[in-house]
Structure 1
Amino acid sequence: MTIVKQASGLSIALVSEHASPLAVLGGVDAGGQNVHVAHLAAALAQRGHRVTVYTRKDAPDLPDRVVSRPGVEVRHVPAGPTWQLPKDELLPYMAEFGRFLVGEWQARPPDVVHSHFWMSGVAALSACRELDLPLAHTYHALGTVKRRHQRSSDTSPAERISCETEVGERCDRVIATCRDEVAELAEMGVPAHRVTVVPCGVDTDRFAPWGRAADRGGCRQLLLQVGRLVPRKGAAVSIAALPWLPDAELLIAGGPPPELIDQEPEVRRLRALARAAGVGDRVRFLGGVPCEEVPPLLRAADVVLCPADYEPFGIVPLEAMGCGTPVVASAVGGQLDTVADPGTGRLVPPSDPAALARATAALLENPAQRAACGAAGRRRVLTRYGWGRVAASTEAVYQEVVARRPAAVTEPA
């Protein structure tokens, strides 16, 4: 891929209304998007660009500006109350967010704007249309998919899908994270020729086979699931698979801090399922795990399970593959792109405990195959998903949308 860079780099505005790159991970609305924005901003800065991330001010003591690293500034936008709100309650404040962006950009407009998540797209689109700025957009998740899977449990605003469609139709380029998303967007009316696929990335130095591994506690076969404790992540499917895996123990990492884990309703539900299946003594809930403890856990596991009902992208398979650990994942969303079956792991139908158990058992019974999958996964991550490569591909999209914009015309005196 050939990239034409400006001598002084681009001025890039990343708009991420609820997902701050400075946030502590593990909360209900703090996860993969926060990581994506933080690492993308850092990798773009490393390529010589000047990056400002605009995120909502959700605490009264947050400073207006924070320099998170050389070349990256985080701007806290006053839009709505200065406390944390669930992201599904933020839409009424996006007009205020957009007006703030207009005020910021009138004097010093960025070369390109890149919004993340649909509400950021709403705010950024209004500002970019008023100031005639180029806009790229990444959804991270689509309302059509969420509604199809969660149905009456979907707490998204009623306007979400119509807003997502408008953003897709009016922005200069959609940056999708996987091929499955391109098909979903086409169903919404956003044609494939307006979409470029650039996957999420992974820190290949941090998520690597070398380094400390967590204590297995004498466990003969160790399975691991990492992620938010919400039903769609499929922990119930992993538990239901355990009766077919009599020598395996399952660790589930995610959710509230360990001292609060017993109060978590989802943990109580999952523990009841485990007891009913006769595997209650083989399932352990770790609670929220500090970021630095995730790679050791991934290295310690024999197999990492990713059995989500749906997964817009799914960063955990990449992190596991980076650590050289094979993955068994549901064949949905971004996991169809990231997990190469049979090379780096296995893909199974979603919501199918028996299929999950069969694929996992085959790997557990064959150490040589596990090692081969782990090595192949590491190679795949290095060649496709490092943040340097992701930033270069994103930069190419920026250069394209900037180049396609007509140059400003100066009226004769």
Structure 2
Amino acid sequence: MTQPKRNARRVALVSEHASPLAELGGPDAGGQNVYVAQLARTLALRGHDVTVYTRRDDPRAPETVRTPQGVKVVHVPAGPPTAVPKDELFAHMPEFGAHLARMWRHRRPDVVHAHFWMSGLAALTGSRDTGIPVVQTYHALGTVKRRHQGTEDTSPRERVGLEARIGIEADAVIATCADEVRELVAMGVPRDRIDVVPCGVDTSHFSPRPGARRPKGAPRRLLAVGRLVPRKGFDRAIRALAEVSDAELLIAGGPEAELLFADPEAERLRKIASEHGVAERVRMLGCVPQHQMPDLVAGADLLLSLPRYEPFGIAPVEAMACGTPVVATAVGGQLDTVVDGVTGVHVPPLDEADHDLAGVIRSLLDDPARLARYGAAGRTHALARFTWDEVADGVARVYSRLCSRSLPSEVAR
């Protein structure tokens, strides 16, 4: 049998609403699910004993599931065993944390890594008085959401205060970008407890596909990817398209294509496209299966990532991994991921000074050599900084620092 790797640890990942087993595309299934699944997989392949604790949202789900890579997924009973919007899960976190405490008394992990603020609450409850170090990754911060959404923010009112408390009580906080570090420090989280480790992308899946490029003479293709919510800035992309001739805009995200007619944001975007005379050049694809995304991304001339705010933003990283240049608003994680003038171009957010977005797009489309240069640099950048091995290296360094004062538990053979 395979012997455990030296310094292998028992790692508990807590992800209360984002299961690594979930099918992507639902309202609360996205980047965090991918992050937890890929981190767990990579750590397990390195010999660590990894368990992911997520809330049971289906009465038919078994108590535990073992993935092909050896990751154990535990479905924690907390609240009704049905789908519940994540903003309504706060009331069930004491039950979630109490269940973790019972499990960890029986089998103590070496380190706990919580994902999202409610997972942090449960992890701190489950590890109280045990000496188990707790690492927190927020994935998104309530302070940022409230600042930008105001009265439309549906998060529990306690969120902002509790996020600060979690950051202060956790043994370490992993931020995904420099902008998040600034937010955390402003919240009172000690700077010396914060490490920056970006999100990752599967660079073997998202890779250049020469055959996906548009044939000569076809309309130039702009692509925007993300959930269909106003903050993503798809409306801005549509308005810019009106001033970019011989180009089409594809928007990937939201419900399945046949359900787009009932989606309020899709309807709003359709109206904007009609008002600006580009309805024939805007195609809304709905939810695109993950196995089709690399061809879609690699076949675009430009990815437009224009959110008003973005905690990290994985779409630009996936585009760079495919060799596709990016036009991105200079916000959040995009300040770190997209290198202005090297892998793409930064533009101001919508609510800043007037900016000629269409002019930026035209200048790039009219310069094939520049597009090729940005695309090649993007692929190199993604391989250097955003592979899951790189992410796992950064996370494991944090775990090792916290566990250095005690020997790791013997990993089950």
Secondary structure of the residue aligned to 1:136 is: strand
Structure 1, unaligned runs of 5 or more:
408-413
**Superimposed CA distance per residue, residues 171-208 of structure 1 (whole angstroms, 9 cap, x where no aligned partner):** 00000000000000011011221100000011010000
Amino acid at match of 1:155: T
Contact 1:229 1:254 in 2 (8 A): yes
Letter of the 2:148 partner, please give it. H
Q: CA deviation at 1:341?
A: 0.7
Q: Supply the distance in 1 between the matched residues of 2:71 and 2:160 (Cα, whole angstroms).
A: 32
Q: Distance in 2 between matches of 1:303 and 1:158?
A: 39
CA displacement 1:366-410 (0-9 Å, x = unmatched): 011000000000000001111011101100000111125799xxx
Residues 55, 74 of structure 1: 8 Å contact kept: yes
* CA RMSD between the two structures: 1.9
Kindly indicate whether the alpha-carbon contact (under 8 Å) linking 1:219 and 1:249 is maintained by their aligned counterparts in 2: no
Q: Residue 13 of structure 2 aligns to a residue in which SS?
A: strand
CA distance in 1, matches of 2:32, 2:211: 27
The equivalences for 1:78-93 within 5 A come to: 78-93=77-92
CA distance in 2, matches of 1:277, 1:192: 47
* AA at the equivalent of 1:370: L
More deviation in 218-227 or 183-192? 218-227
Residue range with higher mean Cα deviation, 377-386 or 60-69? 60-69
Q: Deviations over 1:116-174 (max 9, x none)?
A: 00000010011112322100010000000000000010000000011101110000000
The residue number in structure 2 matching 1:126 is 125
- Which is further off, 135-144 or 254-263? 254-263
The alignment covers a number of residue pairs equal to 404
Q: Is the alpha carbon distance of 1:77 and 1:216 closer, same or farther for their aligned partners in structure 2, counting shifts above 3 Å?
A: farther
CA distance in 1, matches of 2:123, 2:213: 43
- SS of 1:268's partner is helix
CA 1:91/1:326 → structure 2, altered by over 3 Å: closer, same or farther? same
**How many angstroms apart in 2 are the aligned matches of 1:153 and 1:51?**
37
Equivalent position of 1:34 in the other structure: 33
CA deviations on 1:299-347 (whole Å, 9 max, x unpaired) are 1100000000100000000100000000000000000000001000001
For 2:390 and 2:376, locate their aligned partners in 1 and report how far apart those are by CA, in whole Å. Answer: 20
Mean Cα deviation higher: 185-194 or 339-348? 185-194
SS at match of 1:131: coil
Distance 1:11 1:262, change over 3 A: same
Tell me which residue corresponds to 1:385: 386
TM-score, structure 1 normalization: 0.94
Q: What SS does the corresponding residue of 1:244 show, helix, strand or coil?
A: coil
**Equivalent position of 2:70 in the other structure:** 71
Q: What is the alpha-carbon distance in structure 2 between the residues aligned to residue 12 and residue 348 of structure 1?
A: 40
Separation of aligned partners in 2, 1:87 and 1:406: 36
Please identify, of 358-367 and 316-325, the stretch whose mean Cα deviation from structure 2 is larger: 358-367
The residue correspondences of 1:206-217 to structure 2 (distance < 5 A) are: 206-210=205-209, 213=212
Letter matched to residue 55 of structure 1: T
SS in 1 for 2:25: coil
1:354 Cα deviation from its structure 2 partner: 4.4
Identity of aligned residues (%): 56
Give the equivalent residue in structure 1 for 2:262: 263
Report 1:166-185 matches (<5 A).
166-185=165-184
Cα deviation digits, residues 237-271 of structure 1 (max 9, x gap): 11111122122110001111111111111100111
Which has the larger displacement, 339-348 or 185-194? Answer: 185-194
Contact 2:301/2:325 (8 A) holds in 1: yes
Pair 1:371 & 2:372 matched: yes
| 2:347 and 2:357 in contact (8 A); partners too | yes
Q: CA deviation at 1:361?
A: 1.3
